[in-house]
Amino acid sequence: MFSRKHRFLLADGSVCSLFGEDYFADKKVFWGAHQSELKHLCQRVCATGFPLQIEDLATGQRITITTKDELDGWWLAHQPTPCLCEKDID
């Protein structure tokens, strides 16, 4: 079935993971669930700060993100909607 694609190690030591496009592009119900996960993860990242690590679970490759601008670049390349912190939502 579907598997998680990315794992996030947040600055506070907590871990979150996200499905890939095969999941969120499959059906409307999956899209809604993925959007909810994205919003929750984004708010956690905004609350815990940087640095954070993102691991591609298929390749094992890890990158370290140190700024919101770096996160935005990664997010827009891998996710269907931007990561908005509460301060960005007006």
Q: Which residues pair with 67 in a beta bridge?
A: none
Provide the percentage of residues in the chain whose pLDDT is more than 70: 82
Query: What H or E segment, with its residue span, contains residue 17?
Result: strand 15-19
| Cα Dmax for the chain | 38
Digit-coded pLDDT (tens) for 63-80? 999 999 999 999 989 887
Task: Please report the sign of the dihedral spanned by the C-alpha atoms of residue 83, residue 41, residue 30, residue 57.
Answer: positive
Instruction: Give the pLDDT confidence score for residue 88 in this predicted structure.
Output: 56
How many domains does the chain contain in total? 1
Provide the percentage of residues in the chain whose pLDDT is more than 90: 48
**Per-position DSSP letters for 28-83, written without gaps between them:** HHHHHHHHHHHHHHHHHHHHH-S-EEEEETTT--EEEE-SHHHHHHHHHHHSSS--
Distances in Å between the Cα of 56 and the Cα atoms of 28, 63, 86, 90 are 25, 9, 26, 32
pLDDT, greater one: 55 or 80: 55
For the question of whether the overall pTM of this predicted structure is more than 0.95, the answer is no
Domain that holds residue 39: 4-88
